[in-house]
Amino acid sequence: MQGTTVRRVGLVLAVTTLTGVTACTSQDSSDGPGRDDRAARGRALAALRSAERATDSARSARVESTTTMGSLMSMTADGTLGWSKGITGTLTIRYTGGTVADTMRRLGTTSMEARYLPEAYYARLGEKFAEQTGGKRWIRYAYEDLDALAGGSGAHLGDQMRSTTPNQSVKLLLSSGDVRKVGEETVRGRTATHWSGTVAAADVTDAALRKQLAEAGVTTETVDIWVDRRNLLVKKVEKARTTTGRLTQTAHYADYGAPVRAERPPASDTGDFEDLVRKQSGAP
């Protein structure tokens, strides 16, 4: 019984942790910055729109991130993501703490390779997990299958994975009523402009992002981004208090335009998420 439970939890953990790699996050409070005048706000929004366009046009980047979600988990992720035709790329995810890391240890690994393709992503969970799933080392998660996960509660997971590009933080900040320029700073040796703001979930114009925040129980958030002289995002810090606890995520972006590789694993070594869940639950 315990083995069945661990396998079932592992299937779902691979979903929920992957969506936290670069998804939007938020914070329960802020320092309450002073009001900018209309002209200053106009200049700020113009600069952010330039950053959004430049980052979106770059089509790919190297990503390094750290994420903490209360006592649930802490994790790191690094790899290259592309977004010219849907989300694509490969990330290595390492679980460093929390109950998720404990569960993954029982599955025989605390790291996982994730390959993102436009219609699905694939997670490699290791040899021990394969022993419990008919020898399949990879699990395929079709985005359309996630829409039906847990009676519909998984619908936003697919949305998050299709919205994990660097310009998503810029889009969030564009919805802030108090966006402001903090100043010029150095990020890993690169000169960058630091922008900050507080975002109310109800004011987010992007429907997918607004939905993600609502389903996470977020009402307000703070977003900090650093933009270099080419208008490219080089760092972000987002913080939140969600239904799973305090969430903090820091990400660095570099090597914009880098080649992106995401090959589908061999079909003979891949199990389908929906089929595996059905088998684990004993459903017909």
- % of the chain residues with pLDDT over 70: 75
Can you read off the two tokens belonging to residue 31? 């320092």
**What pLDDT was estimated at residue 103?**
82
On whether the CB atoms of residues 197 and 188 are closer than 8 A, the answer is no
Strands 138-142 and 270-272: parallel
Weakest mean pLDDT among 31-40, 71-80, 98-107? 31-40
The residue written with tokens 């990400």 in the block is 251
Residue 51 Cα to chain centre, angstroms = 19
Q: Establish how many alpha carbons lie within 13 A of residue 267's alpha carbon, considering only the half-sphere containing its beta carbon.
A: 0
Nearest to 65 by CA among 24, 116, 106, 110: 24
Other Cβ atoms within 10 Å of 283 Cβ, number: 7
**What pLDDT was estimated at residue 168?**
80
Reported pTM: 0.81
Nearest to 197 by CA among 59, 40, 76, 65: 40
Weakest mean pLDDT among 9-13, 83-87, 103-107? 9-13
Q: What is the mean pLDDT of residues 231-247?
A: 85
On whether the CB atoms of residues 60 and 253 are closer than 8 A, the answer is no
State yes or no: pLDDT of 174 exceeds 50.
yes
User: Quick one: CA torsion of 43, 45, 50, 55, rounded to 10 degrees?
Assistant: 140
Other Cβ atoms within 10 Å of 150 Cβ, number: 11
> Higher-confidence residue: 130 or 27?
130
What's the CA angle centered on 138, arms 106 and 60, to 5 degrees?
Answer: 110
**What pLDDT was estimated at residue 155?**
44
| Cα 190 from Cα 227, distance rounded (Å) | 10
> Higher-confidence residue: 238 or 36?
238
